[in-house]
Amino acid sequence: MGMTDAAIDFKQAVNHRKGKNLLGAYYPASTIVIDTECLQTLSDRHILNGIAEALKHALAQSRSMTEMIVTPLRETNLACLRDPEYLDMVCRTCIDHKVPTLIYYTQSNFNEMVPQYGHAIAHALEHLSFHCGDSVKPLLHGEAVAIGMCVSAEVAFILGICDEQTVSEHYEFISDSGLPTFVPRNMTLKDIMAKLRYDKHYVKKPAMGLLSKIGFMYSKDGDYAQTIPHEVTLKALSANIERRDAAPFSYAPPESELPISDIVNVVMASNAEELTNHAESVFEDGNLLDEWRAVSVDSSEFNARKENIYWRLWAMKGNH
């Protein structure tokens, strides 16, 4: 996250109990050092957290950048997250697209709305996910942004700014990157709408940057910030939730006699042998079982990917 977003900006902020990024200062870094080898100590989930911010710039500024990020993730089933060359490409390409928004686009609010794409919704979802009790698992910032971009695409479609293909591509690119696309279950529309009021761009109504198509930020009379009526925001959130409830999971494990709590305990086991012993009884899907066996061959690899495996299972069970 720091390599693709947080460090490359004029501001630093901290969260407040009322909302995200409400306290902070403007103090740009004089030097930023990026070493993607350091990312090898992170879980896949935390690397994807940063990928989400790079994907934000890609969706808003460049279709080719979007494909450069997503295609390797799709083709390697996320294995490229362990490839320093891929991560270096993501960081460099993100910097190439983000830095101009900090330097050159001073005649409009393009430089503000591109980095904030998806964030109006994301900040509300992220903050709420930490205050909904055990019914909602906390979202990392990039995960919330991924969902926020999907909802933003729904907003653009409702307003006639983009077509259905652009909305579908949002869901496809983001889900193929291993990131969530749907508002978490057990998070109410009422709570989301109330939390939106604490976004820094909220003035009586949410203000969002929206895309006319992949790689193009929409503007009206030179203004890239669109004021969104409450009923449109509600309709967009509802459309996202309807997709969530209708969508089959990428991997749908069959009904198991084991309750979800037992399955989670297996996934979070501290050794690969326990996972291997239980995998066949939990997953009858051949491809999924082969993948999990491959991960469990080496204990060190399993331990490194344990958190990511847990979250993928949680998403498959419809609780993410």
Name the domain count of the chain. 2
Do 174 and 228 lie in a common domain? yes
Domain assignment present for residue 272? The answer is yes
Same domain, 38 and 10: yes
Q: Does residue 191 lie in a domain region?
A: yes
Same domain, 47 and 180: yes
Assign residue 156 the CATH number of its domain: 1.20.1090.10
Taking alpha carbons only, the member of 263, 240, 266, 115 closest to residue 181 is: 240
Instruction: Determine, yes or no, domain membership for 30.
Output: yes
Per-residue model confidence as pLDDT tens digits over 72-110: 999 998 899 999 999 999 999 988 888 777 776 677 788
Q: Are 82 and 231 in contact (CB under 8 A)?
A: no
Please indicate, yes or no, whether residues 90 and 37 belong to a single structural domain of this protein: yes
- pLDDT band with cut points at 50, 70 and 90 for residue 292: low
Final residue in a domain of this structure, among 185, 219, 246: 246
- Range with the lowest mean pLDDT among 48-57, 59-68, 119-128, 275-284? 275-284
Q: pLDDT by residue (tens digit) across 103-145?
A: 766 777 888 888 889 999 999 999 898 877 776 788 999 999 9
Indicate whether 50 and 112 sit together in one domain. Answer: yes
Asked if residue 148 and residue 33 are part of one domain, the reply reads: yes
Q: Which range, 187-191, 265-269, 298-302, is most confident?
A: 187-191
> Region 246-260: what's the mean pLDDT?
45
**Domain closes at, from 205, 223, 246:** 246
Verify that 239 and 112 share a domain, yes or no. yes
Distances (CA, A) of 27 to 9, 73, 229: 9, 34, 34
In a domain, 193, yes or no: yes
Domain range for residue 187?
2-246
Residues 20 and 80 in one domain: yes
